[in-house]
Amino acid sequence: MDRAQKQQLTANLHQDLAETVCVVITHQTGLTVAEVTQLRRQMLGAGARYRVTKNRLAKRALEGTPFEGLAPFFTGPTAIAFSRDPVAAAKAAVEYANRNNKLTIVCGGLQGQVLDEAGVKALATLPSLDELRGRLIGLINAPATKLAVLLQTPAGQVARVLAAYAEKSGKSGGEAAGGDSASGDSVSGESADGATA
């Protein structure tokens, strides 16, 4: 690789890191081409990217990005996973490392904060932005779904349900009124007794 190619590679990696929220540094020892291809596909599927790096070039690429603090960790057979989603890269890297011990998690960074291996693994347990969006949409849609079911229910069934609620409310209201008048009698009776005494 000549000097121009190295500069272009460094510039591209710098651009990627400047636009990234999460970075995971890994060591890969003995991964076959097929395994690296599978890992890259898994990363892309999760919304992340995976790149084998030359340590010296990676350290240069880190300069001026929020991840400059990760430079000392670029030693040995290093590769990085990175994503704009705060957890996608960590989740994909940890899942793969759990299945294949040729990949080990070294450390990571989240919006400029350095994470140790345990921090990266903890980050991987959080739901991704897509999962959170799905949950939020589910919560928003739940009342709408119930309303749609109610609107599709035949009018007779709705009338019976409303009548049952009205009847239930009427009984509970009558009992409450009766209880109040009874208590009112006992209070007035006591006041009368008090007046007589």
Cα of first residue to Cα of last residue in the chain, in angstroms, is 112
Give the closest residue to 36 by CA, choosing from 72, 81, 85: 81
- CA 163 to chain CA mean position, Å: 44
Q: What percent of the chain is modeled with pLDDT above 90?
A: 45
Angle in degrees, CA 63, 65, 67, rounded to 5: 95
What is the token pair recorded at 187? 């209070």
What is the token pair recorded at 111? 């919006």
- How much is the pLDDT for 2? 77
Question: Residue 77 and residue 29: Cα distance in Å, rounded?
Answer: 7
Per-residue pLDDT reduced to its tens digit, 93-146: 999 999 999 999 999 999 878 999 999 999 888 876 677 667 667 667 666 666
Question: Residue 164 and residue 156: Cα distance in Å, rounded?
Answer: 12
Give the closest residue to 51 by CA, choosing from 85, 12, 84: 12
> What is the SS3 assignment for 135?
helix
Each as own residue / partner, the long-range contacts of residues 174-183 (CB below 8 Å, 24 or more positions apart, any chain) are none
Mean confidence (pLDDT) of the chain: 80
pLDDT, mean of residues 14-22: 90
What is the token pair recorded at 122? 């903890």
H-assigned helices in the chain: 3-18, 33-46, 55-62, 88-99, 117-124, 129-152, 155-196
Fold for domain 3-131?
Answer: Alpha-Beta Plaits (3.30.70)
Q: What are phi and psi of 7, to 5 degrees?
A: -65, -40
Q: Which segment of 27-31, 34-38, 125-129, 138-142 scores lowest on mean pLDDT? A: 138-142
**Domains of the chain by residue range:** 3-131, 132-196
Question: Residue 147 and residue 150: Cα distance in Å, rounded?
Answer: 5
pLDDT band (50, 70, 90) for residue 91: very high
Strands 48-52 and 78-83: antiparallel
Question: Residue 24 and residue 89: Cα distance in Å, rounded?
Answer: 7
